[in-house]
């Protein structure tokens, strides 16, 4: 294979004459000098064009280049301690690939709607590039973690015949002679797979047709869902804690430069260490009431409440043992107190809200049938799921993490729309 | 975190008394001995229950266990050279978690429809478990390869406003006040991302509502699609070749035991080494004609033709420079011969057909508009895609690989339905 030279590896070519290809990110001129900021997706380098060092045509070209024009630049790699990269390029030659005229995203402030309309171009900004590289790192770290810990990836299907949690927020499609729904969770399939493979995770896009315009909602988002045979609630919380710490540590190790582009307060991420505080739902309500929030026992802990609780801690907090009445049908009840479900949520710090939701699953056949009926769901739709309770049922637990919420927290960005390459919102399906 | 002991790590506990939890895979009795095959998802171990070594109740229980019952077994780990694992367990104690009665998939032959109806249980068979573990390995190897080679993962959206390749085979859904379609390819989004990040790949589920029942079709399948700025056709073929060799090598390194379960002829995979033969479409037609196949220049190379061509080679073969008329609108024409598109397909050996399809993309604005119109597609639907040709357009190329076809070839299984945990076919949406 031919070797291309990328900016991030520039240090290997110090003192050598090389050719880089990319796009003009920014430009500064001052009489006899033109400073071109060249980006190639791997990094940004300053290319210095000195009037005396190049032909007249090349200097004229350099001076006339417009933002995002594609160019090929040849020059000598020089150490430069002032640059964040450590190097700059002393230009000998420059070739235009295409002049970009009137690039819509000028280096000035634009409104969000405008930027979202130009998402296909907005991705080129150093801020968006940094977020995408952190997203890539997070996703790889997630997969690496599960691989290193003996999990098998089991992709759950997107097209499903039945709804996991009610049909009100489902996208529906014709499927030949019947209807299919876009998956909201791979959990039920993950449970089947955990009975085959012991420790599994699924990780794919999930969908919610929610008429919600908050900054915490996307209609299409990626979710990772581990499921482990023989795990109890403590195991589930241990896994969530260990998993979060491992992923945060890998991002800190490999993506510090990108976190700095985002001006993220890294010290807050460095505090993400075991053990996480663990409180019961009942204790969470007490904290809320003490802080003047009127939520009563049995009520939902919403976004505002999560923020209030997270302020009490310097790292993620795990709330466990919720009222069964506000949790899903498949969650196992606490044998100590059947009003409670063996559920747990991990609440991110700094007001980022729930980043993980999990539970022990009801493994008793008769109890599960009862719960399905109580919830008003059709038992026949769960025939195969119930089979898991007939043929070697075992205790098991798992959780789900929406990857965009997690990335928003890591990056310190307020709105989920920046954490996914092409966000889908209630009022946005394009580009 | 509590440490659980899994069968695959059993060697660490040689001579020790341990407890394993799992399911009864198979059983054999002979008077004073019961041999339990215990599976826990990580492996299978033979547990030997000797009448004199346990209580009467435990022996009775062991003798009465039915297939797929969940149990907890305590015993001493003993080296056993006859077993594929190298160890067996001398049982001291045994606890029943749940007796499975009349597990539907007995160790006998079942019809395909029956097994597909019970896919949630069928996954537990050692053959299906082996395929899933190879799938896991392939997917990780794919991601590792791109990571190691400087690519950034950029997830393309599933819900899209327009079709990439015609609307006849699209799943449609209501999207609030408009219509959305399930993605058939992330390529157009990948091209936008490659202009931002240089080297990218997307890897997610894609959908085809094809009324096709062949063994090579799924309605939902996972596709990996790299896209690289400044790559030409040679680069594209080099990347495909290097990528396939790297993934095959990692599977051979880490999943030999699973390939043996599948009775795969490993020597055929070991032959997958660079360089792959490269022939033009025109040469491919000559080969076909010489072999008595009547396909004329300009005609499609279908599954049967791919098999005929693949028989000529002992490893994947790359066919390139197809007639432009039978390829997609976004493919760049060969400047040497505008009848040809700068496209390439990698054909798997042993009759597994096309495993990769790729091309150089048309980067000229006016030419691309012309191609869109020629194809009868609405230009306005491609406004953002055309923007990529206005603002710093550069030559670029990429390809797509359907991961299930690739896994089918690696595993040597004839039908794609076994290569994905929960297959979706024209007549199958459940479980």
Instruction: HSE, CB side, 13 Å, CA atoms: give it for residue B128.
Output: 23
Task: Please judge whether A198 and B42 are an interchain contact, meaning their C-beta atoms are less than 8 angstroms apart.
Answer: yes
Q: How far is A369 from chain B (nearest CA, A)?
A: 17
CA dist A367 to A328, A330, B70, Å?
A: 14, 10, 18
pLDDT at residue A201 in the model: 98
Confidence at residue B167, expressed as pLDDT on a 0 to 100 scale: 63
- In 3D, which of B247, B260, B423, B262 has the Cα closest to residue B346? B247
Provide the shortest C-alpha distance from residue A202 to chain B (in Å). 10
Residue ranges covered by each domain of chain A = 7-98, 119-418
Using CA atoms, how far apart are residues A327 and B287, in angstroms rounded to an integer?
64
| Whole-number pLDDT of residue B230 | 98
Phi, psi torsion values for B380, nearest 5 degrees: -65, -25
Q: Which of B172, B392, B417 to mutate to test the interface with A (most CBs of A within 10 A)?
A: B392
Separation in Å, CA A115 to CA A127, A380, A417, A431: 13, 47, 11, 11
User: Which two three-digit tokens encode residue A60?
Assistant: 């004229």
Please give the angle made by the CA atoms of B81, B85 and B86, to the nearest 5 degrees: 25
**CA A84 to chain CA centroid, nearest Å:** 27
- Burial pattern A148-162, b for ≥16 Cβ within 10 A else e, equals ebbbbbbbbbbbbeb
**Yes or no, beta carbons of B152 and A41 under 8 Å apart:** yes
Q: Chain A: nearest CA to B272, how far in angstroms?
A: 17
B323-357 residue pLDDT tens: 999 999 999 999 999 999 999 999 999 999 999 99
Q: Is the peptide bond before A431 cis (omega within 30 degrees of 0)?
A: yes
Are B213 and B426 in contact, with CB atoms under 8 Å apart? yes
CB A315 within 8 A of CB A354: no
Strand pairing report for A70-79 and A87-98 = antiparallel
- Nearest CB partner across the interface for A153, out of B136, B159, B384: B136
**Which chain B positions have a beta carbon within 8 Å of A429's beta carbon?**
159-161, 175, 178, 180
Distance in angstroms (rounded) separating the CA atoms of residues A408 and A419: 6
Helix axis angle for B233-254 and B126-148, nearest 10°, is 140
ipTM value > 0.85: yes
CB B233, CB B336: distance < 8 Å: no
Least CB–CB distance from A197: residue in B41, B392, B420: B41
Distance from the B293 Cα atom to the nearest Cα atom in chain A, whole angstroms: 35
Say how far apart CA A128 and CA A119 lie, in whole Å.
10
Distance from C-alpha of B55 to C-alpha of B52, rounded to nearest angstrom: 8
Is the distance from CB of A319 to CB of A301 less than 8 angstroms? yes
The answer to whether residue A77 scores a pLDDT higher than 80 is yes
* A347 Cα to chain B: minimum distance (Å): 20
A111-138 mean pLDDT: 97
The alpha carbon of residue B206 is apart from the nearest alpha carbon of chain A, in Å, by 10
For residues A415 and A410, give the distance between their C-alpha atoms in angstroms, rounded to a whole number.
12
**Least CB-CB distance to B193: which of A160, A421, A429?**
A421
Q: List the single best residue of A10, A104, A198, A200 to mutate versus B (max B Cβ within 10 A).
A: A198
Of A172, A391, A430, the CB nearest to B68: A391
Q: How far apart are CA A215 and CA A207, in angstroms?
A: 16
Euclidean distance between the first and final Cα of chain A, in Å? 34
Taking CA–CA distances from B382, the nearest residue in chain A reads A431
Instruction: Please tell me which of the candidates B2, B100, B157 has its beta carbon nearest to residue A391.
Output: B100
| Nearest CA-CA distance, residue A5 and chain B, Å | 11
Q: Which residues of chain B lie closer than 8 angstroms to A161, CB-CB?
A: 429-430
pLDDT-derived band of residue A165, with 50, 70 and 90 as boundaries? low
Would the pLDDT of A166 be above 60?
no
How many beta-carbon pairs below 8 A join chains A and B?
Answer: 280
Cα B344 from Cα B342, distance rounded (Å): 7
With residue A397 as reference, give the H or E element that holds it.
strand A396-402
With beta carbons under 8 A apart, name residues in chain B contacting A132: 152, 154, 193, 196-197
Q: Any idea what the Cα angle at residue B282 is, between residues B277 and B283, rounded to 5°?
A: 40
Lowest mean per-residue pLDDT among A18-27, A77-86, A264-273: A77-86
Question: DSSP of B245-312, one letter per residue?
Answer: HHHHHHHHHH-HHHHHHTT--HHHHHT--SPPPEEEHHHHHHHHHHTT--PPTTS---HHHHHHHHTT
The partner residue sitting opposite B422, judged by closest CB among A40, A42, A189, is A189
Test A41 with B205 for CB contact under 8 angstroms. Answer: no
C-beta separation of A313 from A292 below 8 A: no
Q: What are phi and psi of B45, to 5 degrees?
A: -130, 145
CA distance A254 to B232: 31
Q: Do B153 and A171 touch (CB under 8 A)?
A: no
SS3 B106: coil
Beta strand pairing call for B337-348 and B333-334 = antiparallel
Task: Check residue B212 and give its pLDDT.
Answer: 82
DSSP structure string for B22-77? EEEEEEEEETTEEEEEEE-SS-EEEEEEEGGGS-HHHHHHHHH--TT-EEEEEEEE
Going by the DSSP 8-state scheme, the letter that residue A270 receives in this structure is H
Q: Say yes or no for a CB contact (<8 Å) between A220 and B158.
A: yes
Please name every residue paired with B21 in a beta bridge, in sequence order, or none if there are none. Answer: B72
| CB-count burial class (<10 Å; 0-12, 13-18, 19+) for A227 | buried
Say what the pLDDT of residue B84 is: 87
User: What is the distance between the alpha carbons of residues A366 and A370, in angstroms, rounded to a whole number?
Assistant: 6
Question: SS3 of A28, please?
Answer: strand
Residue B125 is classified by DSSP as: S
Q: Are strands A152-153 and A199-207 parallel, antiparallel or unpaired?
A: parallel
Residue A108: band (very low, low, confident or very high) from pLDDT cuts 50, 70, 90: confident
Q: A303-310 and A281-290 are packed helices; what angle lies between their axes, rounded to 10 degrees?
A: 80
> Other C-beta atoms within 10 Å of A214: how many?
10
Contact B159 A121 (CB under 8 A): no
Give bridge partners of residue B179 from the DSSP assignment: B174
Cβ neighbours of A106 (radius 10 Å): 9
Asked if the Cβ–Cβ distance from A229 to B41 is below 8 Å, we say: yes
C-alpha span between A98 and B273 (Å, rounded) = 38
d(CA B283, CA B289): 10
Q: Are A343 and A329 contacting, i.e. CB atoms less than 8 angstroms apart?
A: no
Tens of pLDDT along chain B (431 residues) come to 778 999 999 999 999 999 999 999 999 998 999 999 999 999 999 999 999 999 999 999 999 999 999 999 999 999 999 988 999 999 999 999 999 999 999 877 899 999 999 999 999 999 999 999 999 999 999 999 999 999 999 999 999 996 555 567 899 999 998 999 999 999 999 999 999 999 999 999 999 998 888 888 899 999 999 999 999 999 999 999 999 999 999 999 999 999 999 999 999 999 999 999 999 999 999 999 999 999 999 999 999 999 999 999 999 999 999 999 999 999 999 999 999 999 999 999 999 999 999 999 999 999 999 999 999 999 999 999 999 999 999 999 999 999 999 999 999 999 999 999 999 999 999 99
**What pLDDT is stored for residue A163 in this prediction?**
56
CB contact under 8 A, A120 and B235: no
Distance in angstroms (rounded) separating the CA atoms of residues B101 and B307: 46
Identify the helix (H) or strand (E) that includes residue A135: helix A126-148
Q: What is the pLDDT of residue B213?
A: 80
Nearest to B45 by CA among B54, B55, B56, B36: B36
Taking the alpha carbons of A126, A131, A134, A139 in that order, is the dihedral positive or negative? negative
- The answer to whether residues B38 and B72 touch, using CB atoms and an 8 Å cutoff, is no
> Can you give the C-alpha Rg of chain B in angstroms?
26
Cβ contact (<8 Å) for B23 and A392? Answer: yes
Q: How far apart are CA A71 and CA A62, in angstroms?
A: 10
What are A254's two structure tokens? Answer: 């490999």
Q: What is the mean pLDDT of chain A?
A: 96
Contact: A100, B391; criterion CB under 8 Å:
yes
Burial class (CB in 10 A: 0-12, 13-18, 19+), B216: middle
Given B23, B120, B155, which is nearest A420 (Cβ)? B155
d(C-alpha A220, C-alpha A209), whole Å: 9
Which pLDDT value is given to residue B216? Answer: 83
The rounded distance, in Å, linking the Cα atoms of A55 and A390 is 81
Mean pLDDT, to the nearest integer, of A68-75? 98
Choose among B152, B159, B195: nearest Cβ to A220. B159
| Cα nearest neighbour of B127 on chain A | A196
pLDDT in tens, B118-163: 999 999 999 999 999 999 999 999 999 999 999 999 999 999 996 5
How close B417 comes to chain A (CA, Å)?
13
Q: Which of B422, B424, B425, B428 is the best mutation test for A, with the most CBs of A within 10 A?
A: B422
Give the number of other CB atoms < 10 A from CB of residue B82: 7
Which H helix or E strand runs over A71?
A: strand A70-79
Residue A107's pLDDT band (cuts 50, 70, 90): confident
As a whole number of angstroms, the distance between CA A105 and CA B252 comes to 48
Minimal Cβ distance to A222: which of B1, B6, B155: B155
Give the gap in angstroms from C-alpha A257 to the nearest C-alpha of chain B.
Answer: 15
CATH hierarchy code of domain A7-98: 2.40.50.140
Q: CATH assignment of B119-418, given 3.30.930.10, 3.30.1340.30, 1.10.10.10, 3.30.70.1340?
A: 3.30.930.10
For the beta carbon of residue A7, count every other beta carbon within 10 angstroms: 19
Three-state DSSP class for residue A246: helix
Report CB contact under 8 Å: A153, B147.
no
């Amino acid at each position: 294979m031919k070797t291309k030279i990328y900016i991030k590896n520039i240090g290997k070519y110090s003192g050598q004459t090389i050719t880089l290809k990319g796009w003009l990110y920014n430009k500064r001129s001052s009489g006899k000098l033109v400073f071109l900021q060249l980006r190639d997706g791997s990094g940004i380098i300053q290319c210095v064009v000195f009037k005396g060092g190049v032909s007249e045509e090349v200097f004229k070209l350099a001076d006339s280049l417009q933002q995002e024009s594609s160019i090929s630049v040849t020059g000598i790699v020089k150490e430069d301690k002032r640059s964040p990269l450590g190097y700059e390029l002393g230009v000998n030659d420059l070739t235009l690939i295409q002049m970009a005229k009137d690039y819509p995203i000028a280096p000035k402030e634009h409104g969000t709607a405008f930027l979202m309309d130009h998402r296909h171009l907005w991705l080129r900004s150093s801020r968006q590039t940094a977020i995408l590289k952190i997203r890539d790192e997070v996703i790889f770290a997630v997969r690496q973690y599960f691989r290193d810990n003996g999990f098998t990836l089991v992709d759950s299907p997107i097209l499903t015949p039945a709804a996991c949690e009610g049909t009100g927020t489902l996208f529906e499609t014709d499927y030949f002679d019947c209807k299919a729904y876009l998956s909201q969770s791979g959990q039920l399939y993950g449970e089947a797979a955990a009975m085959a493979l012991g420790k599994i995770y699924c990780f794919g896009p999930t969908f919610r047709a929610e008429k919600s315009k908050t900054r915490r909602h996307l209609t299409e988002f990626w979710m990772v869902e581990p499921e482990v045979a023989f795990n109890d609630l403590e195991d589930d919380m241990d896994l969530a804690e260990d998993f979060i710490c491992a992923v945060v540590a890998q991002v800190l190790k490999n993506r510090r430069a990108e976190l700095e582009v985002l001006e993220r307060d890294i010290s807050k991420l460095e505090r993400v260490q075991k053990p996480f505080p663990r409180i019961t739902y009942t204790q969470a309500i007490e904290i809320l009431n003490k802080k003047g929030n009127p939520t009563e026992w049995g009520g939902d802990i919403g976004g505002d409440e999560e923020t209030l609780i997270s302020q009490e801690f310097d790292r993620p907090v795990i709330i466990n043992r919720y009222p069964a009445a506000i949790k899903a049908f498949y969650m196992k009840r606490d044998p100590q107190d059947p009003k409670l479900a063996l559920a747990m949520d991990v609440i991110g710090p700094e007001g980022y809200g729930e980043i993980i939701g999990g539970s022990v699953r009801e493994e008793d056949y008769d109890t599960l049938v009862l719960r399905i009926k109580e919830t008003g769901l059709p038992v026949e739709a769960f025939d195969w799921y119930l089979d898991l309770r007939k043929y070697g049922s075992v205790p098991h637990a798992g959780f789900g993490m929406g990857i965009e919420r997690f990335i928003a927290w890591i990056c310190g960005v307020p709105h989920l729309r920046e954490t996914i390459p092409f966000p889908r919102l209630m009022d946005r399906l394009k580009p």
